[in-house]
Amino acid sequence: MLVSYIPVALMLVVVGLFSVAIIILSRLLGRRQESREKIMAYECGNDPVGDARMRFSVKFYIVAVLFILFDIEAVFLYPWAVIYRRLGMFGLVEMGIFVVILFIGFIYVWRKGALEWGWKST
């Protein structure tokens, strides 16, 4: 039974040797000319300003978590849509309940102001 894994093991060895050989060859044959621009941190074409460890508002993290949460919830709609005909009325009712709960959560988050980016004017 292990004989069938010999080609996979051989491929892993060949890939490992090839990657090590490429790294060694690039180190030996490549030119290294360090300059101020090459060793500077890359900030999307802008000169870096400030400290990299500056504090962000909690709002950024809340929006990120909410985005991931609602994105994952939307991913559950795809498998349901693929087998919709086989599920029949039961699948429609279950997905309706799921979407209603998701919508209630969205309204709750919206009412709490978690999706607001700017300052609220009073």
- CA dist 68 and 14 (Å) reads 39
In the prediction, which pLDDT does 62 show?
A: 84
- Start-to-end CA span in the chain (Å): 73
Residue 43 dihedral angles phi and psi, to the nearest 5°? -125, 55
* Backbone Cα Rg of the chain: 26
User: Is residue 46 helix, strand or coil?
Assistant: strand
DSSP-assigned beta bridge partners for residue 46: 43
Question: Over the stretch 73-104, which tens digit does the pLDDT of each residue have?
Answer: 888 888 888 888 898 899 899 999 999 998 99
Question: Over the stretch 31-42, which tens digit does the pLDDT of each residue have?
Answer: 888 887 777 777
- What are the residue boundaries of the structural domains of the chain, listed by start? 58-122
pTM for this model (two decimals)? 0.49
Where residue 45 falls among pLDDT bands split at 50, 70, 90? low
Q: For the chain, how many residues are written? A: 122
Q: Which CATH code for domain 58-122? A: 1.20.58.1610
